[in-house]
């Protein structure tokens, strides 16, 4: 018999998988090109050709120097390049020693929480949030405390945060640009959160999950977490910025001013090993030396966002204009958005219910699809808008 | 502050790291070529040239088809090839659905224990054993129950196993060829263990960690775990067999007859995702399709084993003749082998104390070093043999 614990966890997390299975079934019937699949955050924009070249070069290097183990934190040269990247992003000092290379941002978050949480410790996150956070926190014995955001704008409310802090609060988890809302936390909001942290008199880590950092639209600015929060840790991956999610390459960066800095670095490397990651894939670590600062053109996603956003408005939907990421998170026309999402599937339009992100009443559209697919989906959204009396 | 729990775990597991740091310091003083480093299980035999070619081909494929996410269990084609490989090895039916691609054998074991263990469940292992097993089991809330082997031969004693089974026993963990002893469990021993399992009336998974399966010496035969144990799960990686440990590529294979088969597969894929692995590195999965059945020539390691074994005997050490893996595990000339290992380091000879493998009184020598290094180490072993009155 498998573990009762994992059985229960699997049952809880089945909404997205159900949709995935339903999507597969629908595609099998109608053909994949007849389905409008907005359900997957699997970037379809091609990896830049220069990055393919970096990968070829990295492979040649690996053939000469081998594919052996390195220290659990990663190749020194890779960590040096990543530290420089973080200095450029933040303007504050970042040391190569403060970098631990990981199997993507998921691996990064998993080892961060394993390193900082004792059983019963709390991690605060604002809804909507990426559902897997709960797994990473629970795997370390922690408790994910989900707080509401300000209605309609998806921004954290500092007062709500203040009231939620308990003696067991160990970390504030931030994800901006946000999956699924596309909200980017402005400097005012972040500064207000910082005041709450300062006034708490507690040591609370700010853990910032930043896989969408380069996918930013218009003149939106992404404030530096390192520059604002001395006690901060960044989780990053090139999964979205270079369309490399299958390759599992990312890192943890520790602010030099963060608490228990040296022990934290040791703990991260230890957790990398003891959870079974051991180290980030060696070949990708070699390639990072060349591609660390590269990213796909965010304008590609911005154009899609505009197209899809306008279709939604034309069809009567109410939607926050995403400032980054590749998601839109419109309001469901009915309270129970899972019923609405099922209805969408009847029209061969696949999306994800907001309840999967701790925020019912909304649904997530991922625009990792061609402009052509977005264009063709207009008639379906229009039909749905009419059906639900939005237009 | 970091987690108290991880701090304690790090302190416990510090013996090998201390040796690693000591080794680095010694190499910095004398130069790496003046140090006999038998401490690391980091294969130095070159990855076969045909595998480098497979990697280039896989990269070309990835450039055409992308580096996207696939299902958490891995590419279908890769799983099909691995299933065929396991059929060839065992002679029993293995389904592609029963394969989950992982970040090496470490990732495989981590998700296996997460899938089958509830807090308080026990995993039985025989000493000596690879120290990281404890981390993987504990991360799933389980308890590692370490049993002694028969003196001098490192083989499990079925009677000892029988007495150790409790109502909470969930798995028997086997590692043959064994790290660190080099012992290969013969068919008689395995059959005796099977009788104990059958007689227990309990459902106990046999989890077999097989990274050294192809590094077998002389006419030693490695019995198939799948053929013997209906309720079995294999963890494999190409880290040792193709000298690819940095690349993190391996798999879990589930025997079609194992208990709760379908739920187990779902749980493994779920654990792959929820622990933050998400999936095994995509590029390596593509390459597996070509290199699944390849391995380095075990004769290279066998020649080294013979050289080192003879040096040990000539120097008066008592040592089991390794039947596989790339380790020898001689007896320490003094009871406290940690003191002996420190003394070795004084002679610029690095090895690992048996206590790191749950078996004090021995020390591990890894022959992932050149024949030249082994030859040159003879005088040091001779000096040590004299110093301790062995010759």
- In order along its 391 residues, chain A shows pLDDT tens digits of 899 999 988 887 656 667 777 888 888 888 888 899 999 888 999 999 999 999 999 999 998 888 988 999 999 999 999 999 999 999 999 999 999 999 999 999 999 999 999 999 999 999 999 999 999 999 999 999 999 998 788 999 999 999 999 999 999 999 999 999 999 999 999 999 999 999 999 999 999 999 999 999 999 999 999 999 999 999 999 999 999 999 999 999 999 999 999 999 999 999 999 999 999 999 999 999 999 999 999 999 999 999 999 999 999 999 999 999 999 999 999 999 999 999 999 999 999 999 999 999 999 999 999 999 999 999 999 999 999 999 9
Please tell me the predicted confidence (pLDDT) of residue A14: 58
Mean pLDDT of B259-281: 97
Report the percent of chain B where pLDDT is more than 90.
Answer: 89
Q: Tell me: pLDDT of B206 over 80.
A: yes
CA distance A111 to A121: 15
Please tell me the predicted confidence (pLDDT) of residue A138: 96
Distance set, CA A8 to CA A12, B115, B118, B244, B363 (Å): 6, 11, 11, 36, 43
Asked if B46 lies within 8 A of A69 by C-beta distance, the reply is no
B48 to chain A, any CB pair closer than 8 A? The answer is no
A63 to chain B, any CB pair closer than 8 A? The answer is yes
Please tell me the predicted confidence (pLDDT) of residue B15: 64
Dump pLDDT digits (tens) for B291-344: 999 999 999 999 999 999 999 999 999 999 999 999 999 999 999 999 999 999
Instruction: Name the minimum distance, in Å, from the CA of B207 to any CA of chain A.
Output: 13
B63 is written with which tokens? 């450039």
Residue of B nearest to A131 (CA): B274
Radius of gyration of chain B (CA): 21
Asked if A114 lies within 8 A of B273 by C-beta distance, the reply is no
User: What is the CB neighbour count within 10 angstroms for residue A152?
Assistant: 9
> Hey, which residues 276-295 in chain B have their CB within 8 Å of chain A?
276-285
User: What is the CB neighbour count within 10 angstroms for residue A34?
Assistant: 11
Mean pLDDT of B53-60: 96
> Hey, which residues 259-278 in chain A have their CB within 8 Å of chain B?
259-260, 263-264, 266-267, 270-271, 273-278
Say if the ipTM goes beyond 0.90: yes
| Angle, vertex CA B217, rays to CA B214 and CA B222, nearest 5 | 55
CATH 3.40.640.10, chain A: domain bounds: 68-291
**Architecture of the domain delimited by B4-48+296-387:** Alpha-Beta Complex (3.90)
Residue of A nearest to B238 (CA): A67
Which chain A residues touch B59 with a CB distance below 8 Å? 52, 55-56, 59
Please tell me the predicted confidence (pLDDT) of residue B385: 98
Please tell me the predicted confidence (pLDDT) of residue A149: 94
Please tell me the predicted confidence (pLDDT) of residue A19: 73
Please tell me the predicted confidence (pLDDT) of residue B217: 98
Q: Tell me: pLDDT of B14 over 80.
A: no
Asked if B139 lies within 8 A of A141 by C-beta distance, the reply is no
CA distance A227 to A194: 11
Higher pLDDT, B152 or B106: B106
Asked if B44 lies within 8 A of A68 by C-beta distance, the reply is yes
From the centroid of its chain, how far is CA B189? 19
Greatest alpha-carbon pair distance for chain B in Å reads 65
- Do B377 and B54 meet the contact criterion of CB atoms below 8 Å apart? no
Q: Which of these ranges, A159-168, B14-23, B266-275, has the smallest mean pLDDT?
A: B14-23
Would you identify the CATH topology of the domain B49-291? 3.40.640
CATH 3.90.1150.10, chain B: domain bounds: 4-48+296-387
CATH number for domain A68-291, candidates 1.10.287.3510, 1.10.8.10, 3.50.50.60, 3.40.640.10: 3.40.640.10
A48 to chain B, any CB pair closer than 8 A? The answer is no
Please tell me the predicted confidence (pLDDT) of residue B22: 79
**Dihedral sign (CA B16, B17, B21, B27):** positive
Which chain A residues touch B264 with a CB distance below 8 Å? 2
Which chain A residues touch B248 with a CB distance below 8 Å? 103, 248, 277-282
Asked if B59 lies within 8 A of A55 by C-beta distance, the reply is yes
Q: How confident is the model at residue B173 (pLDDT cuts 50, 70, 90)?
A: very high
A203 is written with which tokens? 């040591």
Helix, strand and coil content of chain B, in percent to the nearest 5, comes to: 45, 15, 40
């Amino acid at each position: 018999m498998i573990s009762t614990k994992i059985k229960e966890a699997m049952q809880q997390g089945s909404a997205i998988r159900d949709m995935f299975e339903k999507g597969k079934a629908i595609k099998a019937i109608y053909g994949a090109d007849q389905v409008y699949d907005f359900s997957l955050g699997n970037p379809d924009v091609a990896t830049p050709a220069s990055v393919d070249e970096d990968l070829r070069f990295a492979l040649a290097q690996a053939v000469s120097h081998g594919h052996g183990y390195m220290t659990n934190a990663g190749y020194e040269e890779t960590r040096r390049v990543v530290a420089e990247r973080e200095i450029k992003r933040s303007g504050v000092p970042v040391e190569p020693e403060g970098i631990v290379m990981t199997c993507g941002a998921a691996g990064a978050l998993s080892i961060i929480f394993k390193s900082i949480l004792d059983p019963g410790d709390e991690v605060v996150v604002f809804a909507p949030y990426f559902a897997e956070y709960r797994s990473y926190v629970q795997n370390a014995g922690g408790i994910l405390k989900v707080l509401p955001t300000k209605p309609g704008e998806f921004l954290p409310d500092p007062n709500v945060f203040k009231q939620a802090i308990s003696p067991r609060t160990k970390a504030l988890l931030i994800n901006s640009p946000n999956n699924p809302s596309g909200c980017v936390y402005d400097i005012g909001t972040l500064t207000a959160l910082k005041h709450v942290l300062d006034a708490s008199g507690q040591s609370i880590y700010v853990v910032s999950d930043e896989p969408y950092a380069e996918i930013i639209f218009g003149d939106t600015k992404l404030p530096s977490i390192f520059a604002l929060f001395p006690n901060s840790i960044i989780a990053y991956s090139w999964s979205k910025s270079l369309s490399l999610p299958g390759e599992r390459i990312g890192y943890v960066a520790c602010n030099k001013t963060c608490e228990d800095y040296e022990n934290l670095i040791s703990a991260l490397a230890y957790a990398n090993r003891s959870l079974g990651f051991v180290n980030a894939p060696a070949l990708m670590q070699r390639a990072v030396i060349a591609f660390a600062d590269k990213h796909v053109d965010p304008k590609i996603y911005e154009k899609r966002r505009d197209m899809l956003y306008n279709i939604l408005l034309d069809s009567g939907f109410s939607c926050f204009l995403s400032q980054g990421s590749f998601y839109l998170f419109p309001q469901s026309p009915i309270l129970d958005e899972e019923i609405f999402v099922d209805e969408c599937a009847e029209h061969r339009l696949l999306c994800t219910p907001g309840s999967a992100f701790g925020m019912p009443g909304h649904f997530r559209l991922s625009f990792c699809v061609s402009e052509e697919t977005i264009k063709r989906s207009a008639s379906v959204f229009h039909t749905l808008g009419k059906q639900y009396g939005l237009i």
